[in-house]
Amino acid sequence: MKQALYQQFVEKKQSGKKSFAVLIDPDKVDNEKIDQLLTLAVAAKVDYFLVGGSLVISSHLDQCIQQIKSCATIPVLLFPGSPSQVSRYADALLYLSLISGRNPELLIGQHVISAPFVKNSGLEIMPTGYMVIDGGAPTTVSYISNATPIPADKNDIAMCTAMAGEMLGMKLIYMDAGSGAKRPITETMIEIVARNIRIPLIIGGGITEPEKAYRNCKAGADVIVVGNAIEKDASLIAEISHAVHSTQNAELGTHNA
């Protein structure tokens, strides 16, 4: 099985390098918008594109990914809300199991049904413990998943869930407050979870400012995902990318002092 991108995640974590991923929802972009995002992302040295969403209505997922791949070498990771969002044109698949919920369909059911299809896709598969954290308002992911999010202040539940995910063999943990969350995940929760796992930690949901991305990285996030805020103001790509990548420099500065 392919592991090149995952290996990159691990090596970056080991060397303290933080990554920035731009989330593209195929429903919300046309060709022109994708071109604009690509230009800004390449200039800002964005590390990854995530493509997908809890609910994707349009049918141009393949075309959207092909357009990205034809113009940029930035790896494309699928972030699927359902097995129908698998495209062989991507580089890898975040193979999500909703470990914060108790909906068996999203823990294992849909995986069983789509397993041969996913295996034959040729994609690099990244088993990901997906944890939805309450973001202060019902989000698409909390409604569609039909599962209760982890309360925003229950750091111990988040910690134990992530630890269990790691011991079950997940290769990544993705903590998500949901797209457009009113309250992004607290740094306290990120810090407690990061301290208790060794696998890379992805954080997303409701991040709208470079400062928050920076603080999340300092707290232990390895990858920051932003979608909604960039849809509204694409110039944030440069600012957030700079903030995320400067975390490592700040840490190096401290060590050298």
Q: Catalog residues that contact ligand 1GP under the rule CB under 6 A.
A: 23, 176, 179-181, 204-207, 225-229
Q: Which is nearer to ligand 1GP, 127 or 206 (CB)?
A: 206
Closest separation between CB of residue 120 and ligand 1GP, Å?
A: 27
Q: Is the Cβ–Cβ distance between 37 and 24 less than 8 Å?
A: yes
Q: Which is nearer to ligand 1GP, 47 or 176 (CB)?
A: 176
Closest separation between CB of residue 23 and ligand 1GP, Å?
A: 5
Q: Is the Cβ–Cβ distance between 144 and 187 less than 8 Å?
A: no
Which of the 8 DSSP states describes residue 148?
A: P
Q: Which is nearer to ligand 1GP, 20 or 89 (CB)?
A: 20
Q: Is the Cβ–Cβ distance between 65 and 100 less than 8 Å?
A: no
Closest separation between CB of residue 1 and ligand 1GP, Å?
A: 25
Closest separation between CB of residue 195 and ligand 1GP, Å?
A: 21
Position of minimal CB gap to ligand 1GP: 204
- Tell me which residue of 165, 164, 159 sits closest to 126, measured CA to CA: 165
Closest separation between CB of residue 7 and ligand 1GP, Å?
A: 23
Q: Which is nearer to ligand 1GP, 55 or 251 (CB)?
A: 55
Alpha-carbon distance of 120 to 118, in angstroms, equals: 5
Q: Which is nearer to ligand 1GP, 75 or 204 (CB)?
A: 204
CA 107 to chain centre: 18
* Amino acid residing at 188: T
Q: Which is nearer to ligand 1GP, 212 or 245 (CB)?
A: 212
Closest separation between CB of residue 175 and ligand 1GP, Å?
A: 9
Which of the 8 DSSP states describes residue 123?
A: P
Alpha-carbon distance of 218 to 243, in angstroms, equals: 11
Alpha-carbon distance of 244 to 50, in angstroms, equals: 16
| Residue 237 token pair | 């790509």
Which of the 8 DSSP states describes residue 26?
A: G
Q: Is the Cβ–Cβ distance between 176 and 223 less than 8 Å?
A: no
